[in-house]
C-alpha cells in the first residue's frame, strides 16, 4: 500500500508543474481525512488544499439555532437531534445547556428514532432537527411520509436542510476564493450525481472530481484534478465510481422532491443563497415544526473575533483566527467550525495543535 501511495504522490508532483494550483475539498469528511492522514505534507509546495463549506452543522446560521432553542424551552416538546448539533452555540445558549437546564433534548441516530418515540408517547410533541445536505434529506423526507401514512400527530421537523449545487456556484463566482479545482463530496454526489459539477466545469472552468474518503481515493482525485488543470480540460469526473453514478440516486431524489421544495437559505459565511435550501411542501405542512410552533428570533451577529465565515469560504485557515486554540477550543467552542466532528477548526485542532503538543 505504501508503494502504491508513493507512486500516486510522485505522479502528482510530475503533473503539478510549477504554477500555483488551488484545490478545495467541499466535504467535511474529506477535510478530516486529509488531516488524519497528513495528505497536505505529501503534496508539492505549489499545490494548496483549502477547506470549503462542506459541514452542514457549520453552515447552519445562528438564528436557526436560536429558533430551535425556543422550541426546546416549551413544556410540551421533545427535541431530537444528531449529536454534532447539540453543542453548537446559539446567541446565548446551546441545546446541551438547555438539556442541563431540565428541558427535553435527546440525541438520536436516525429521524426514525424520533418518529418511533412520538408513536410510543402521545403526550408530548417530538421535533426532529433536520440539518444536512442531500445526503440526509431523503431519509428525513421518508420519515415525514411515514408520519403522514401512520397519521402521527405529535411529530414534526424543524427543517434547515441545504443543497450543495447553488452554494458551489456562489463559491465559483467569488473572486476572493479563486479555486481551480473541486474535490467534490462523495456522499452528496451519491444522491445528486454530477450534473451540477458539469455546469461548474463548463461555465467556470473549474476541474471537478467526486472523491472517495480513503487516502488513496483523495490522492487519486488530486492527481485527476491536476491533469485536468494542466491540460486546461476541465470536466466533471468520478473517482468514487464504486458508489457514485453520474445520474445519482433517482429514487432518493424523487422522494426528496415529493416532500421538499427549493427555498432561499442563509449559509453561515456565504450569506443568503437563492434556492439553496429545502422547505417542507404545503401538503406536509403539519409536519413543519416552525409552522406549527412559530417563533420570533433576532438575527444575531457573529461572535466577536470569530472568522468561521472566512474559514468556510476557504479564504482563511483556523490558524489565522485569534481565538483558535485559545478562547475557542473543543471544550469551550465559540464557533460552529470547532464544534462539529467535520468542522475545519476541529480538524486543525485535533491533528495539528494536539499532535504538536504530544
- Residue 129 main-chain phi, psi, to 5 deg: -90, 110
Q: Residue 356: its pLDDT value, please?
A: 55
**pLDDT tens-digit profile of 144-181?**
999 999 999 999 999 999 999 999 999 998 888 889 99
Beta bridge mates, 272: 266
The single-letter DSSP state of residue 98 is H
How many separate helices (H) and strands (E) can be counted in the chain?
17, 11
- Residue 322 main-chain phi, psi, to 5 deg: -65, -20
> Which CATH number is 57-163+249-292 given?
3.40.50.11740
Tell me whether the CATH fold assigned to 2-52+164-238 matches the one assigned to 57-163+249-292.
yes
Radius of gyration for the alpha carbons in the chain, expressed in angstroms and rounded: 21
The single-letter DSSP state of residue 124 is S
- Alpha-carbon distance 148 to 282, whole Å? 13
Which residue bears the cell 463548463?
Answer: 202
* Residue 75 CB partners (closer than 8 Å, separation 6+): none
**pLDDT above 70 coverage of the chain, percent:** 98
For the chain, the domains span 2-52+164-238, 57-163+249-292, 308-357
**pLDDT tens-digit profile of 79-131?**
999 998 998 889 889 999 999 999 999 999 999 999 999 999 999 999 999 99
**pLDDT tens-digit profile of 272-320?**
999 999 999 999 999 999 999 999 888 778 888 999 989 999 999 999 9
Which residue bears the cell 457549520?
Answer: 58
The alpha carbon of 127 is separated from its chain's Cα centroid by a whole number of angstroms, namely 21
Homologous superfamily, domain 2-52+164-238: HypD, alpha/beta domain 1 (3.40.50.11750)
Task: Reply yes or no on whether the pLDDT at 358 is more than 70.
Answer: no
Which residue bears the cell 465559540?
Answer: 334
CB 52 within 8 A of CB 259: no
One-character DSSP codes across 127-158: EEEE---TTTHHHHHHHHHHHHHTT--SEEEE
- Neighbouring C-beta atoms of residue 304, cutoff 10 Å: 7
The alpha carbon of 333 is separated from its chain's Cα centroid by a whole number of angstroms, namely 18
For residue 82, give the nearest of 122, 39, 50, 113 by alpha carbon.
113
- Strand ordering across the sheet containing 236-238: 47-51, 21-25, 181-184, 207-210, 236-238
For residue 139, give the nearest of 278, 322, 317 by alpha carbon.
278
pLDDT band at 40 (very low <50, low <70, confident <90, very high): very high
Amino acid at each position: 500500500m505504501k508503494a502504491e501511495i508513493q507512486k500516486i504522490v510522485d505522479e502528482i508532483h510530475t503533473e503539478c508543474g510549477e504554477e500555483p494550483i488551488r484545490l478545495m475539498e467541499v466535504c467535511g469528511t474529506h477535510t478530516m481525512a486529509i488531516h488524519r492522514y497528513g495528505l497536505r505534507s505529501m503534496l508539492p509546495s505549489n499545490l494548496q488544499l483549502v477547506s470549503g463549506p462542506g459541514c452542514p452543522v457549520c453552515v447552519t446560521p445562528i438564528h436557526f439555532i436560536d429558533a430551535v432553542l425556543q422550541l426546546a424551552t416549551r413544556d410540551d416538546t421533545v427535541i431530537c437531534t444528531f449529536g454534532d448539533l447539540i453543542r453548537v452555540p446559539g446567541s446565548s445558549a446551546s441545546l446541551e445547556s438547555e438539556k442541563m437546564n431540565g428541558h427535553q433534548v435527546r440525541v438520536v441516530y436516525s429521524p426514525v428514532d424520533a418518529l418511533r418515540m412520538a408513536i410510543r408517547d402521545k403526550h408530548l410533541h417530538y421535533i426532529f432537527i433536520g440539518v444536512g445536505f442531500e445526503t440526509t434529506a431523503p431519509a428525513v423526507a421518508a420519515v415525514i411520509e411515514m408520519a403522514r401514512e401512520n397519521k402521527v400527530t405529535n411529530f414534526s421537523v424543524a427543517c434547515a436542510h441545504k443543497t450543495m449545487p447553488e452554494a458551489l456556484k456562489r463559491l465559483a463566482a467569488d473572486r476572493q476564493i479563486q479555486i481551480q479545482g473541486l474535490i467534490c463530496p462523495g456522499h452528496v454526489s451519491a444522491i445528486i450525481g454530477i450534473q451540477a459539477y458539469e455546469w461548474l466545469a463548463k461555465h467556470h472552468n473549474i476541474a471537478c472530481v467526486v472523491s472517495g474518503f480513503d487516502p488513496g481515493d483523495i490522492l487519486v482525485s488530486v492527481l485527476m484534478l491536476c491533469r485536468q488543470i494542466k491540460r486546461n480540460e476541465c470536466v466533471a469526473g468520478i473517482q468514487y465510481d464504486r458508489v457514485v453514478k453520474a445520474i445519482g440516486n433517482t429514487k432518493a431524489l424523487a422522494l426528496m422532491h415529493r416532500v421538499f421544495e427549493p427555498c432561499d437559505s442563509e449559509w453561515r459565511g456565504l450569506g443568503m443563497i437563492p434556492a439553496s435550501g429545502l422547505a417542507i411542501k404545503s401538503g406536509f405542512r403539519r409536519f413543519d415544526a416552525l409552522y406549527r410552533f412559530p417563533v420570533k428570533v433576532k438575527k444575531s451577529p457573529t461572535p466577536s473575533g470569530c472568522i468561521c465565515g472566512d474559514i468556510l469560504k476557504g479564504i482563511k485557515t483556523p490558524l489565522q483566527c485569534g481565538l483558535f486554540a485559545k478562547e475557542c477550543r473543543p471544550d469551550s467552542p465559540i464557533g460552529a467550525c470547532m464544534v462539529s466532528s467535520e468542522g475545519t477548526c476541529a480538524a486543525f485542532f485535533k491533528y495539528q495543535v494536539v499532535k504538536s503538543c504530544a
